[in-house]
């Protein structure tokens, strides 16, 4: 998959699905056979949807301003991202989680995500990347 095409999908996913919690957009970007491994916890497509719904319940807002690092592998249709997530909790407190993620594409959709997360300043968010 071409770099520009992967970049377009990634930017749309982070804007629509994560920053705006638009769960209805998930099928547009993620394959129904999607699998995710976050901090050694596996999730399938349906569990990923549950994760997004749970995030909507436990945080007020999630925002990824920019990617600190972004690398594309056209040969293997993969994207590596490194970024900080600004999380506004229900009580208004803003915390930050660092994420390292590798996305794999097939037929223009994301089929796999392997990621590591770590809370930078709030122990309550130690499992935010994998709650369901």
What would the mean pLDDT of 39-56 be, rounded to a whole number? 92
Residue 79 falls inside a structural domain:
yes
Residue 130 falls inside a structural domain:
no
pTM of the model: 0.92
CATH at 88: 3.10.450.50
Average pLDDT, the chain: 93
Residue 11 is part of which domain span? Answer: 3-125
pLDDT at 86: 95
Residue 47 falls inside a structural domain:
yes
Number of domains composing the chain: 1
Residue 132 falls inside a structural domain:
no
Question: How far, in whole angstroms, is CA 47 from its chain's centroid?
Answer: 13
Is residue 17 within 8 Å of residue 52, measured between CB atoms?
yes
Exposure on the CB side of residue 47, measured as CA atoms within 13 A:
14
Residue 131 falls inside a structural domain:
no
What would the mean pLDDT of 82-105 be, rounded to a whole number? 95
User: In the 8-state DSSP scheme, what is residue 18?
Assistant: I
Question: How far, in whole angstroms, is CA 45 from its chain's centroid?
Answer: 13
pLDDT at 56: 85
Q: Return d(Cα 3, Cα 21) in angstroms, integer.
A: 25
Residue 74 falls inside a structural domain:
yes
């Amino acid at each position: 998959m071409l770099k520009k095409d992967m970049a377009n999908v990634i930017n749309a996913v982070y804007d629509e699905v994560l920053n705006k919690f638009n769960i209805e957009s998930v099928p547009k970007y993620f394959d129904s056979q999607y699998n995710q491994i976050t901090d050694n916890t596996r999730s399938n497509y349906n569990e990923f949807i549950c994760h997004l719904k749970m995030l909507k319940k436990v945080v007020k807002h999630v925002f990824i301003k920019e990617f600190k690092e972004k690398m594309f592998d056209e040969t293997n249709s993969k994207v590596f991202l490194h970024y900080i997530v600004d999380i506004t909790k229900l009580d208004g407190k803003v915390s930050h989680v660092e994420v390292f993620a590798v996305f794999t594409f097939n037929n223009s959709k994301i089929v796999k995500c392997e990621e590591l997360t770590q809370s930078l300043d709030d122990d309550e968010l130690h499992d935010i990347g994998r709650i369901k």
